[in-house]
Amino acid sequence: MIESWNRAAQHLFGYTAAEAVGEPGSMLVPPERRREHDEILGQIRRGEPVEPLETVRITKAGRRMDVGRRMSLLRNADGELIGASSISRDITQRVRMERALRAAEHRFHTAFDRAPIGICLLPLDAADAAALLEVYPAMAELLGHTVDGLTGTQLSALTAPEDHARIRAKLGELAGGQGGQVEFEGRLIHHDGHVVWAQIRGALLSEADEQQTVAITHVIDISDRKRSEDQLQHLADHDALTGLVNRRPFTEELAGALRLGKRHGEAGAVLFLDLDGFKFVNDTFGHAAGDELIVRVAGLLSGAIRKADTIARIGGDEFAILLTRCDRVAAILVAEKLLSTLRHDNQSNGDDPRMHVSSSVGIALFAADDGLTPDELVVRADIAMYEAKNSGNDRCSLYDCKVRRRA
């Protein structure tokens, strides 16, 4: 029973001393806390000390209130237990704030756990060698690992060797304070060994102490996008019918060969081929037969040159070939070999006129010190090809700059 009730208790619970004294203490206890209350009373009766606790009480107005309680045993002069004193403090506001904080933390972790993109925490100081501090489920799934299996793994073990230096440099920018965040693309290694192209965004998270700087890293799988980009690039750089490269990459390859030739003193040649009688096949047997013929010729020409050489389809029935590390004699031999290959194919196809074709080949040589551009070389080879065609077809002609200058 309540034996004393001070003004603070009256203010806290709403009961006057007259209303509270003589009443059981359980009048302040909500039903779900009765068992807890009875257990504490049992401790008091047994003379056992009661640890401070946080519980719930009900005011006179019916409001539930979170309270912190401290209880002390009371004894008379003979040491006999006569009761207990209870000091209660309203902690409702603090409990609400703690609950809100726990709820926010729960939402935060739930958001990370259920995030559709890969998220991990990454140390940026050199001492930790970029081992993943914390990994969330989508990140583990993206790389085919479990969360526990991926946590603590060195970043270098998860990235393609070709991208190690670039990824270290980007994270170094973040660690060095060169920006609040970095974004780049890189290749990660899946648990089964295949490459996962990823867009990686890192942001400085905190500097909890002087020992460690941490970044939060978002990783998005862009493998499908990369495959689509590669396919589009392939279509842009290759002839759809034959699969050979087209004029643009051929010109780039030729420009690179000219630079290397100038640096190392190496010579080479460009061959320009135009099929003889192709218009007759197209007009007589139709475009399907013409396409079939172009595909077959592309295969024959590709098989007759070195793997180091480059062949391109640059027009309807026009092909260009780049021969590197090649002098005048070698270039003529290659041209003759191509002509011979087509002649032999004609013999193999018997009396079928749709399959009979020859070629006129123009040859333009380049040396380390002639200063020619790729376009100039192709034009020279094209001019030489027309000379071969005007001389009766099925032959090759070498561009002679001296003759041209005299003309």
pLDDT single digits (tens) 295-345: 999 999 999 999 999 999 999 999 999 999 999 999 999 999 999 999 988
Q: What's the sign of the alpha-carbon dihedral 121, 124, 128, 129?
A: positive
Of the candidates 258, 259, 257, 253, which has an alpha carbon nearest to the alpha carbon of residue 237?
Answer: 253
Average pLDDT, the chain: 88
Q: What mean pLDDT do residues 248-275 have? A: 93
Contact 316, 298 (CB under 8 A): no
Q: Looking at 119-133, 259-273, 363-377, which range is the least confident one? A: 119-133
How is residue 26 annotated by DSSP?
G
Residue 395 in contact with residue 363, Cβ under 8 Å?
no
In which element (H, E) is residue 207 found? strand 195-209
pLDDT at 407: 32
Is the predicted pLDDT of residue 232 greater than 70, yes or no?
yes
What b/e readout covers 234-273, taking b as 16+ CB neighbours within 10 angstroms?
eeebbbeebebbbbebbbebbeebbeebeeeebbbbbbbb
Residue 53 in this model has a pLDDT that exceeds 70: yes
> Looking at the DSSP assignment, which residues form a beta bridge with residue 73?
84
Question: Taking 70 as the threshold, does the pLDDT of residue 38 lie above it?
Answer: yes
- Which strands make up the sheet holding 181-189, listed edge to edge? 134-135, 118-123, 212-221, 195-209, 181-189
What confidence score (pLDDT) does residue 406 get? 35
User: What pLDDT score was predicted for residue 12?
Assistant: 94
Q: With 70 as the cut, is the pLDDT of residue 36 above it?
A: yes
Look at residue 126 and tell me whether its pLDDT is greater than 60: no
Predicted pLDDT of residue 127: 44
The pLDDT, as a whole number, for residue 405 is 42
Residue 130 has pLDDT above 80, yes or no: no
Instruction: Provide the pLDDT for residue 207.
Output: 56
Residue 395 has pLDDT above 90, yes or no: yes
Tell whether the model's pLDDT for residue 179 goes beyond 70: no
The pLDDT of residue 206? 61
User: Which tokens is 97 given?
Assistant: 């704030």
For every residue of 103-169, DSSP letters joined together read: HHHHHHHHHHHT-SSEEEEEE-SGGGTTB-SEE-HHHHHHTT--HHHHTT-BGGGGB-GGGHHHHHH
Please state the length of the chain.
Answer: 407
pLDDT tens string 60-117 = 999 999 999 999 999 999 989 999 999 999 999 999 999 888 888 877 777 777 777 8
For the chain, count helices (H), then strands (E). 14, 13
Residue with the two structure tokens 């978002």: 218
